[in-house]
């Protein structure tokens, strides 16, 4: 985690934490950096960078500033307009751009925004490049064996870059998703909650092309309503819609459509853990589960691991964050992994989580097995979970205190194979997170509180 960029880009309230000048600086750096990389190799051609954005009002401001910075540094900016994060990753990779930029704050409210950077492989930007951007913003850049401070050269005359309408790239991404539809969706009633965000015109286009009977909610973006009581973070609206209108399935996306949660025909929420279970099992049954492994994070539910044990499916547990899931999948050649939040990665088809792709894969599992979604997920028992945060003065001291560790071990011993405890520091705040999964909610509450009380008794809490 850097000064400006976190695990998912440079994010914050527009024109407060993240302002227009930051966007211009990022554009200036990227245009110059990729041009310089080419020049170092004796290549005089113009760097090419592709940009997408979500529907927030401030996304248009940031797009303009990024384009201004890019062309001022001599790069050509290819503009996808409103599109999804995974589409930018796809186009950056298949069209061999130097890098991609997505303007979005994902599931955050409209007044927040973010700048996500994607490398030429369609993956999260390399950390060393992020470090250089931060140094440039702070006026102390050293790169290519030279100290630049905050003064990198501008392009002149015919070297000034261009902005290019690249809506055709977004359309080809839509075509790619349609091509992944193994079965016709004819006769299946599908509800889509597009969160008034990036998926608003892409997801319906894909499902309509595959023959589904499509009903769409929250697909009228006005710049201010992205994620507002809509999408995967407010799925209760979709639950109600599916039941009241007799839909076969519903899918809810977040603001930039890199996540998907589902609703079965009975109105039950299908989380990322359910999706990993149903598609992991579907792949194993067809001998398609490479390495017999599904990649999860430590926050996946205890019930998922119990189910995998019964099915003979191996699993890996990474730190929280799709970045860590993808790193493990790339290193070990795994084909499916993800998070409870619905950020699911199908590495054979995409280099990042893709909400629309995830919904297509759920449809494939339903149609391929000729079963309703509720029937497919029924064997998975999700254990009750309680997660509480305690503010502390020193996260490391609190987590490593002998009495705290003893209290945690006492809970672990008590639960045995009927549940689990997880204690971890927040990555961004002075908090220790204590989570317990057990057979009853009351037991979870009691055991979480017992550990937090030890933290307080030892004077480690900052409350």
pLDDT value of residue 36: 96
pLDDT value of residue 7: 81
From 45-49, 74-78, 258-262, 417-421, the region with the lowest mean pLDDT: 417-421
Is the pLDDT reported for residue 317 higher than 90?
yes
What single DSSP character describes residue 292? G
pLDDT value of residue 260: 98
The arithmetic mean of pLDDT across residues 173-194, rounded, is: 97
pLDDT value of residue 2: 80
Question: What residue segments make up the domains of the chain, in order of their start?
Answer: 3-166, 180-376, 383-456
pLDDT value of residue 428: 67
Active site residue 59: no
Query: Mean pLDDT across the chain, nearest whole number?
Result: 96
Is the pLDDT reported for residue 1 higher than 80?
no
For the chain, give the percent of residues with pLDDT over 70: 99
The whole-angstrom separation of Cα 253 and Cα 233 is 8
**Fold (CATH) for 3-166:** Alpha-D-Glucose-1,6-Bisphosphate; Chain A, domain 3 (3.40.120)
Q: Parallel, antiparallel, or unpaired for β 141-143 and 146-149?
A: antiparallel
**Fold (CATH) for 180-376:** Alpha-D-Glucose-1,6-Bisphosphate; Chain A, domain 3 (3.40.120)
Residue 403 pLDDT grade (very low, low, confident, very high; cuts 50, 70, 90): very high
Is the pLDDT reported for residue 233 higher than 90?
yes
pLDDT in tens, 118-169: 999 999 999 999 999 999 999 999 999 999 999 999 999 999 999 999 999 9
Helix (H, G, I), strand (E, B) or coil at 52: strand
pLDDT in tens, 416-445: 999 999 999 887 678 999 999 999 999 999
Residue 15 pLDDT grade (very low, low, confident, very high; cuts 50, 70, 90): very high
pLDDT value of residue 8: 84
For residue 457, say whether it is annotated as part of any ligand binding site.
no
For residue 330, say whether it is annotated as part of any ligand binding site.
no
pLDDT in tens, 256-285: 999 999 999 999 999 999 999 999 999 999
Q: Parallel, antiparallel, or unpaired for β 76-82 and 163-165?
A: parallel
Contact in structure between 450 and 404 (CB atoms under 8 Å): no
**Fold (CATH) for 383-456:** TATA-Binding Protein (3.30.310)
For residue 256, say whether it is annotated as part of any ligand binding site.
yes
Same fold, 180-376 and 383-456: no
For residue 106, say whether it is annotated as part of any ligand binding site.
yes
73, 104, 106, 347: which is the annotated catalytic residue?
106
Altogether, the residues listed in the chain come to a count of 463
Which residue from 443, 422, 418 is spatially nearest to 299, judged by alpha carbons? 422
Helix (H, G, I), strand (E, B) or coil at 42: coil
Q: Which residue has the tokens 């409209």?
A: 110
- Strands of the 420-425 sheet, one edge to the other: 385-391, 431-437, 420-425
The arithmetic mean of pLDDT across residues 222-227, rounded, is: 98
């Amino acid at each position: 985690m850097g000064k400006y960029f976190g695990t998912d880009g440079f994010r914050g309230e527009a024109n407060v934490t993240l302002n227009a000048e930051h966007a211009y600086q990022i554009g200036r750096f990227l245009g110059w950096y990729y041009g310089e990389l080419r020049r170092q190799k004796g290549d005089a051609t113009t760097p090419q960078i592709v940009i997408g954005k979500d529907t927030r009002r401030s996304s248009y401001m940031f797009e303009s500033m990024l384009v201004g910075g890019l062309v001022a540094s001599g790069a050509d900016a290819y503009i996808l307009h409103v599109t999804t994060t995974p589409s930018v990753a796809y186009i950056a990779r298949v069209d061999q751009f130097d890098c991609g930029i997505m303007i979005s704050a994902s599931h955050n409210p409209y007044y927040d925004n973010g700048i996500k950077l994607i490398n030429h492989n369609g993956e999260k930007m390399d950390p060393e490049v992020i470090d250089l951007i931060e140094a440039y913003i702070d006026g102390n850049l050293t790169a290519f064996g030279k100290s630049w401070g905050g003064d990198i050269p501008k392009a002149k005359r015919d070297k000034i870059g261009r902005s290019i309408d690249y809506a055709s790239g977004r359309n080809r991404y839509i075509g790619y998703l349609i091509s992944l539809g193994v079965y016709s969706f004819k006769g299946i009633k599908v509800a889509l909650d597009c969160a008034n965000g990036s998926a608003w015109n892409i997801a319906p286009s894909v499902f309509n092309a595959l023959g589904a009977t499509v009903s769409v909610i929250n697909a009228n973006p006005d710049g201010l309503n992205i994620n507002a009581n809509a999408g995967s973070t407010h799925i209760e609206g979709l639950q109600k819609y599916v039941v009241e209108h007799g839909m076969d399935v519903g899918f809810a996306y977040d603001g930039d459509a890199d996540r998907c949660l589902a609703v079965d025909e009975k109105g039950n929420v299908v989380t990322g853990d359910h999706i990993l279970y149903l598609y992991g099992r579907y792949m194993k049954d067809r001998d398609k589960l490479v390495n017999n492994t599904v990649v999860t994070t430590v926050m996946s539910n205890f019930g998922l691991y119990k189910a995998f044990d019964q099915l003979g499916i191996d699993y890996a547990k990474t730190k929280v964050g799709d970045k860590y899931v993808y790193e493990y999948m790339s290193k070990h050649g795994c084909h499916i992994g993800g998070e409870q939040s619905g950020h699911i990665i199908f590495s054979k088809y995409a280099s990042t989580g893709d909400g629309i792709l995830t919904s297509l894969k759920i449809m494939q599992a339903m149609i391929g097995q000729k079963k309703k979604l509720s029937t497919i997920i029924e064997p998975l028992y999700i254990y009750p979970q309680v997660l509480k945060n305690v503010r502390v003065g020193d996260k490391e001291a609190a987590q490593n205190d002998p009495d705290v560790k003893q209290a945690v071990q006492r809970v672990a011993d008590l639960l045995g194979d009927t549940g689990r405890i997880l204690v971890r520091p927040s990555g961004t705040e002075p908090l220790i997170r204590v989570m317990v999964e057990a057979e009853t909610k009351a037991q979870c509450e009691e055991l979480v509180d017992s550990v937090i009380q030890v933290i307080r008794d030892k004077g480690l809490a900052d409350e």
